[in-house]
A = this chain, B = another copy of it.
Amino acid sequence: MVSELIMTVTDRNTEEIILEAACTIFFQKGFAGARMQEIADSAGINKALLHYYYRSKDQLFEAVFNRALISFLPTIKIALEAEMPLTQKIAKFVENYVDVLIANPHIPAFVIHELNTDPNRVVLKLKSHGVDPRIILRQVDEAIAAGEIRAINGEHFLINLLSLCIFPFVARPVAQGILQKSNEEYTLFLQQRKSEILEFVMQSIKAS
């Protein structure tokens, strides 16, 4: 019993070290650009050990992709599907989501690229973790009917909200270049966006 516990702990450690190294490399270079050897080096272990824990590059990648989704979808899911007054919900979503993005800035570009490269690979997974837009779409329509906001298209509104939150992270090099900001300045800029996005959106949808 003791031995099992200890071994399991050791397992988890090495497995976890590998997975973290794999995340770093895969997030930055994508599936095709990542090298097993580089991941092994980054984890400080032998390449054969990668295959001992994760049998192939594909399976290691899948573990990484899962972790990427798990870091993101729950937050967006809870925020969008919760029953809560719309304006309050929007505020909470923007704040939570941008915080998650600041903590994991490389994940969106990674997921987007892999999904564009091979939409079939994990489309099922996306659906299983899937975000259900119906609740917030209904809330938008109700808020319009109640005269709380002006008449807007819920689907476009939802995509607008996501665009405003996520795009500055995926396009960071371009945006930072256009605005000619240093890393520190751009990081601050991203922090400010929480309030900027909220104000921008609220001004746009308020009943006139």
Cross-chain contact A155 with B170 (CB below 8 angstroms) = no
Task: Tell me the dominant secondary structure on chain A's binding face.
Answer: helix
- Expressed in whole angstroms, the Cα–Cα distance for A157 and B189 within the complex equals 12
- A113 is an interface residue with CB less than 8 A from chain B: yes
Residue interface mask A155-172, B partner, CB < 8 A = 1: 111111011101110111
- Expressed in whole angstroms, the Cα–Cα distance for A131 and B201 within the complex equals 26
Identical copies in the complex? 2
- A177 is an interface residue with CB less than 8 A from chain B: yes
Determine the chain B residues whose CB is within 8 A of the CB of A204 once the complex forms. 200-201, 203-204
Which residue of chain B is the closest to A172 with respect to CB atoms? B116
Determine the chain B residues whose CB is within 8 A of the CB of A30 once the complex forms. 30, 32-33, 113, 117
- A83 is an interface residue with CB less than 8 A from chain B: no
Cross-chain contact A28 with B178 (CB below 8 angstroms) = no
- Expressed in whole angstroms, the Cα–Cα distance for A156 and B191 within the complex equals 11
Cross-chain contact A189 with B117 (CB below 8 angstroms) = no
Which of A1-9, A55-63, A87-95, A119-127 makes up part of the contact surface?
A: A119-127
Enumerate A86-123 residues with CB–CB distance to B below 8 Å.
106, 109, 111-113, 115-117, 119, 123
Determine the chain B residues whose CB is within 8 A of the CB of A168 once the complex forms. 159, 163
Enumerate A130-159 residues with CB–CB distance to B below 8 Å.
130-131, 133, 150, 152-153, 155-159
